Amino acid sequence: MNLDEYKYKDLIHRCFRCGYCKFPTHWDDVTNCPSYARFRMESYSNGGRLWLIYAWLTGEIPWSEHLTQILYTCTSCKSCVEKCPLSFNEDIVNMTVAAKAAMVEMGRLPNLVKKFFQNVQLYGNPYGIDAQKRSDWMNGMPVESYGGQEYLYYVGCEGAYDTRAQKAARATAQLLIDGGVSFGVLGNEELCDGNEVDMMGEEALLENLATRNIQQFSDLGVKNIITLSPHAYNVFKNKYPEFGGHFNVYHSTQIFADLVKAGRLSLPDKSGARITFHDPCFLGRWNDEYTAPRKVIKAVKGADFIEMDRSKKGALCCGGGGGNFYTDFLGGSEESPARIRVREARDAKADILAVACPNCLTMLEDAAKAEGLDDQLKVMDIAEIFCQV
Amino acid sequence: MSSILNALMDIVGEDYASDRYEELFTYSKDLGTSEPQWPEYVVAPKRVEEVQKIVYLANKEKVAIVPLGGGLTLAGLALPLKGGIIIDMKRMDQIIEVNEQARYIVVEGGISHGAITAYLHKQHPHLMHSEPGAPPAATVAGNIAIHGQGDLAHPYGFNTDMINGLEVVLPTGEIARFGSCAVGSGWYTMHPLPDLGFFLGWNGTTGIITKVSLRLFPYKKIREMDVFSVIDEELVPEILYELSHLGLSEDLITTSAAIPPMMNRIHNTSIIIAGDYEEEIEFKRHMIFDVTLAKYIHSGVGGIGAVSMERARPTISKSADWKKGGGFEYVGSIMPVSSYPECYRRGAEISEKHDIPYTVLGRVIGCCHAMMFSWFYAFNRADPETVRHAREALHETDEMVMEINGTIWKPAVFGQKLMMDRMDRTTLQLMKKVKDLLDPNGIMNPGNWEVK
């Protein structure tokens, strides 16, 4: 790879490294870039990364394992985009993704990243678990296979395999049933959506996954998709059209908001609870959906809804994006973004930290345990606040 | 792994010390035209005790240390000219105390100005501090180490004139406090103790500033920017003088730039006014435009460029990106306000010579006691020829500043030499004695303000 082949060759050197990209909406702190928050060295800030990428592409510095690790600590949370004052700000996160793609092309990647890709290729999920176990999450539930219902409920890898996220997947399915939504699932035929693969720069694997998913969805006549994960929501909505896949895509909270409005859900009573909400990056910053999850939470009876200091466009990422929920390059420290985030929820005096993403759910619940907050702060998917299955 | 890296990791933890190529590369460069200067280690302490241990280690190993804040001086002042350890201070970012009644805030030196502004807006909405004319990532200690200025410069002067107390780790590792905090009675004044002003403006060559008490000022509910424009640069000094006599503005800044064309050869003075009531704002507008500046308007030599514009926080200006190359640097100088016309003309000539659209700015400091005048030179980081032009333009501007009896603000090493060559010999030797006394091993940011 050299600079001439790099997609952003005419832009990447224009980063001044002025530091705006580190800030949240209200300038509260310089730690809104999750990898910079974790390591606090300039090399891990977005500006530092872009300068390193440019130096690598121009031959000023050599490839190294540490360089790849710095790149793969980027969660693609897009916080940097929000505050960058320059005209090309929309592309600054894509510049890192494109550099990851260049490293993929060279085949020189951190082992955990390689393993992630291999697992997705071999098993259809990053965990390397048998595809025949993909439908285990719905054991005992009256969930139908997809066969022409109004919606396909796409669960995704985390919801299907991660034992904690499975509970969110089940609660979501139950709420859809309770709300009278016509839906079906793919069960063991479901395949990784490819959002993380995309953010990690494996373009060929993304194309493979997207093509296979689109084929399957089309063969089944799928027109409308409900996703558990904002990551799947993002890739289906924004990337699949590039591969010919045009579907009406909804995040589960958007459907719940409609159900609440229509009076089709029974509202839970959580008298005295103080609920805050952690915006998932791929619902918020990537897709500008801040309203639907809040509408659903605010429908909970007897509870106070409170915002954390950093919210909506300025929300701190949980640190799980870009495959980091698997590689854990940002873990192992009090300054891991997820641990910072649960401390913020504690500081807001919340007793329920509501999430709308299975990635965030597992990251933040683990963080609450690590912080010793699990007794006082419940991390719950929004669907779980309504029903637990 | 080297013994120094091991020792640094023991002090701050494994994650916050590095000698890896990627970190060294990143810290070898700043945003300006300076050539890369490579450190051997980078370390990011969290507590003052850690800073102290790093300094003890550096003395023991006779290795240079360079404290770094936001890294935004552009002039290479926190590049390790003689290698050694970069101490990235930004983890020391805590707000320690706000005293509403005495209007001060005590912070750790590595906190960003943006974070202080955000905190005050939220917790103390009727108080403000002087945020420098720099990106919000600029740190408090970094800014005072270079005698920065910013909001409220017109009524209150340099940011270093707005300090109530300091804590400094000396080059030999001891921790010293200055101001009323030194006698344990709070952080409310630097006076009336004997002046030991060895740290402000020294570019981190005499110690590492770890705590600062900053003066706070009333934050008015309404704030706006009005603009008055003239073509004749000779009118700018008297206009600024008259506006400063009126004394109703928080800031007075005159700018002129080749691009956009509506700015070209026109001198726009931004007048920042604030008040708690609309009547107050109306009165100030009336006194400024209908009374003080009326004669220029009536005689046709000046006009109102804008009224009631939002006062935006500092950002990367379009002029910084003229070359679409992620690079710009400027020479700042402290000048009499009367020098504005010559500064502008000479700067425009230098810019033209180097094919850089000119951008100049003059900010009134104090009651027209001085002006910070700056000349901006954009370059394309990917085009060495434009970098060379910008560097030459900067050097020519430094020389021009000396020629017209200015003093270069936060000079790079080139400008420092020009200043020291002209400096009173006794003063110069005193600087050397102070430095030798405080830093016997010569480890603190060597190469900066270095008296031979």
Interface of B with A in 34-63 (CB under 8 A): 42, 44
Nearest to B22 among A30, A40, A43 (CB): A43
Minimum distance, in Å, between the CA of residue B33 and any CA atom of chain A:
12
Residue of B nearest to A9 (CA): B382
Q: Please tell me the number of Cα atoms within 13 Å of B194 on its side-chain side.
A: 1
Residue B34 is classified by DSSP as P
pLDDT reported for residue B74:
94
The whole-number average pLDDT for the span B236-263 is: 95
Kindly determine whether residue A30 and residue B325, on different chains, have CB atoms separated by under 8 Å: no
Q: Cβ(A80)–Cβ(A46) under 8 Å?
A: yes
The string over B429-449, giving b where at least 16 C-beta atoms fall within 10 Å of a residue's C-beta and e elsewhere, is eebeeebeebbeeebbbbbbb
**CATH 3.30.43.10, domain B3-90, yes or no:** yes
Kindly determine whether residue A18 and residue B72, on different chains, have CB atoms separated by under 8 Å: yes
Tell me the pLDDT tens digit for each residue of B176-235.
Answer: 999 999 998 899 999 999 988 899 999 999 999 999 999 999 999 999 999 999 999 999
Minimum distance, in Å, between the CA of residue B17 and any CA atom of chain A:
9
Cα-based distances in Å from A224 to A118, A131, A151, A183, A192: 30, 24, 5, 9, 18
Give the pLDDT band of residue B75 (cuts 50, 70, 90): very high
Residues of chain A with Cβ-Cβ distance to B112 below 8 Å are: 19, 29-30
Kindly determine whether residue A86 and residue B26, on different chains, have CB atoms separated by under 8 Å: no
Q: Cβ(B103)–Cβ(B128) under 8 Å?
A: no
Q: At what angle do helices A92-106 and A46-57 cross, to 10 degrees?
A: 40
Residues of chain B with Cβ-Cβ distance to A48 below 8 Å are: 26
Interface of B with A in 294-333 (CB under 8 A): 315-316, 320-321, 324-328
Cα-based distances in Å from A280 to A7, A153, A362, B98: 28, 19, 13, 34
Would you tell me which CATH number, out of the four given (1.20.58.1880, 3.40.50.10320, 3.30.465.10, 3.30.300.30), belongs to the domain B92-218? 3.30.465.10
Task: For residues B37 and A185, give the distance between their C-alpha atoms in angstroms, rounded to a whole number.
Answer: 59
The class (CATH top level) of B222-309 is alpha beta
CATH superfamily, domain B318-411, is FAD-linked oxidases, C-terminal domain (3.40.462.10)
pLDDT reported for residue A25:
86
Kindly determine whether residue A28 and residue B115, on different chains, have CB atoms separated by under 8 Å: yes
CB pairs under 8 A between A and B: 116
Residue located via tokens 């507008």:
B285
Tokens, residue B157: 């002067």
Give the pLDDT band of residue B263 (cuts 50, 70, 90): confident
Helix (H) or strand (E) segment spanning residue A119: helix A111-123
Minimum distance, in Å, between the CA of residue B315 and any CA atom of chain A:
7
In the predicted structure, residue B351 carries a pLDDT above the cut 90: yes
Task: For residues B76 and B78, give the distance between their C-alpha atoms in angstroms, rounded to a whole number.
Answer: 6
Residue of B nearest to A45 (CA): B26
Residues of chain A with Cβ-Cβ distance to B380 below 8 Å are: 13
Kindly determine whether residue A14 and residue B326, on different chains, have CB atoms separated by under 8 Å: yes
pLDDT reported for residue A52:
98
Hey, what's the torsion of the CAs at A313, A159, A384, A264, to 10 degrees?
A: 90
Average pLDDT, 10 consecutive residues per value, chain A (389 residues)? 85 94 88 97 98 96 96 98 92 97 95 98 97 97 97 98 98 98 98 98 98 98 98 98 98 98 96 98 98 98 97 97 98 97 98 98 98 97 93
First vs last C-alpha separation in chain A = 50
Nearest to A13 among B135, B136, B382 (CB): B382
Kindly determine whether residue A18 and residue B135, on different chains, have CB atoms separated by under 8 Å: yes
Residue of B nearest to A26 (CA): B118
pLDDT reported for residue A29:
84
Kindly determine whether residue B22 and residue A42, on different chains, have CB atoms separated by under 8 Å: no
Report the candidate in B213, B19, B137 with the shortest Cα–Cα distance to residue A21.
Answer: B137
Give the pLDDT band of residue B355 (cuts 50, 70, 90): very high
Chain A CB within 8 Å of residue B125 CB: no
pLDDT reported for residue B414:
97
Residue B221 CA from chain centroid, whole number = 26
Helix (H) or strand (E) segment spanning residue B327: strand B326-335
The class (CATH top level) of A123-257 is alpha beta
In sequence order, which residues have a C-beta less than 8 Å from that of residue B81 and are 6 or more positions away? Answer: B37, B413, B445, B446, B447, B448
Residues of chain B with Cβ-Cβ distance to A66 below 8 Å are: 20-22
Residues of chain B with Cβ-Cβ distance to A28 below 8 Å are: 115, 118-119, 122
pLDDT reported for residue B315:
67
pLDDT reported for residue A4:
81
In sequence order, which residues have a C-beta less than 8 Å from that of residue A325 and are 6 or more positions away? Answer: A158, A359, A362, A363
Kindly determine whether residue A40 and residue B90, on different chains, have CB atoms separated by under 8 Å: yes
Kindly determine whether residue B137 and residue A18, on different chains, have CB atoms separated by under 8 Å: yes
Q: Where in chain A is the domain with CATH 3.40.50.10700?
A: 267-386
Instruction: Count the helices and strands in chain B (H runs, E runs).
Output: 13, 19
DSSP B284-313: HHIIIIIIISHHHHHTTSEEEEEEEE--PP
Residues of chain A with Cβ-Cβ distance to B115 below 8 Å are: 27-30
Fold of A267-386: Rossmann fold (3.40.50)
Q: Cβ(A75)–Cβ(A331) under 8 Å?
A: no
The whole-number average pLDDT for the span B262-272 is: 94
Cα-based distances in Å from A142 to A136, A152, A168, A372: 13, 15, 16, 37
pLDDT reported for residue B314:
64
pLDDT reported for residue A26:
85
Indicate if the alpha-carbon torsion angle B111, B114, B117, B122 is positive or negative: negative
In the predicted structure, residue B437 carries a pLDDT above the cut 80: yes
Nearest to B115 among A18, A29, A41 (CB): A29
Q: Where in chain B is the domain with CATH 3.30.70.3450?
A: 222-309
Q: What are phi and psi of A294, to 5 degrees?
A: -70, -35
The whole-number average pLDDT for the span B364-376 is: 97
Q: Among B25, B107, B319, which would you mutate to test the A interface (most chain A Cβ atoms within 10 Å of its Cβ)?
A: B25
In the predicted structure, residue B323 carries a pLDDT above the cut 90: no
Chain A CB within 8 Å of residue B377 CB: no
In sequence order, which residues have a C-beta less than 8 Å from that of residue B295 and are 6 or more positions away? Answer: none
Minimum distance, in Å, between the CA of residue B307 and any CA atom of chain A:
24
Nearest to A30 among B42, B112, B324 (CB): B112
Task: For residues B5 and B326, give the distance between their C-alpha atoms in angstroms, rounded to a whole number.
Answer: 33
Kindly determine whether residue A52 and residue B25, on different chains, have CB atoms separated by under 8 Å: yes
In the predicted structure, residue B9 carries a pLDDT above the cut 80: yes
Nearest to B15 among A20, A39, A43 (CB): A39
DSSP A205-225: HHHHHHHHHHHHHHHHT--EE
DSSP B65-92: EEEESS---SS-TTS-TT--EEEEGGG-
